Amino acid sequence: MTESSLTREQKQRACEIVELVTKELPAPDNARTGVHCKIYVTHRGAKFRVNEFVVGTPDPEKDERYDYNSAEKALRLAGNPGDFSSWQTRNEDKKKWGGAIWGSSNLQRIYSLSGLPEHGDEASGLWMAIEFGDLLPAEALVIADYSENTLFKNIYLKFDLQSRYAASRAA
């Protein structure tokens, strides 16, 4: 990933990740059609640059809310130094949701999604952060433990084992 933007290939991979996570959700959530994805990038405390894209076609009645929620989660996370997940300041009564995480690279990326259930948003962001080199799997699992995100753990185990098996068969 470059400092300020995603490559076309990275955006495509991000879309694939969201689609794979969506398929792993229980019904009726696995039929959702669109997600707002924002990846905020800052370099050593500089202003954020936003890589924003939509995966699929969000429900028109919910599109504005998804856009707002993905921004709110990320800005809330950025405003709480020391936090690693928007779950740490989640407040259902105030409609403050989980689903944004910090990457651990020097560029300090925040992955924030809205459009899936909270654990689906977070699972997508964690997987992207691993794929784009911003989190080690062990770091992602610590974040998933905090939010009790069994969806991410199950997805990671399933796809990690599948890729290991495919690699061993190719060797």
Compute the distance between CA of residue 57 and CA of residue 36 in angstroms, rounded to an integer.
9
What CATH number labels 8-170?
Answer: 3.30.450
What's residue 93's pLDDT?
97
What's residue 94's pLDDT?
96
What's residue 45's pLDDT?
60
What's residue 158's pLDDT?
84
What's residue 78's pLDDT?
86
Rg (C-alpha) for the chain, rounded Å, is 15
pTM of the predicted model, to two decimals?
0.86
Q: Please report, in tens digits, the pLDDT of each residue of the chain (171 residues total).
A: 334 567 889 888 988 999 999 999 888 888 887 787 777 766 556 666 777 778 878 888 888 998 899 989 988 998 888 899 999 999 999 999 999 999 876 557 889 999 999 999 999 999 999 988 889 999 999 999 999 999 999 998 888 766 766 666 776
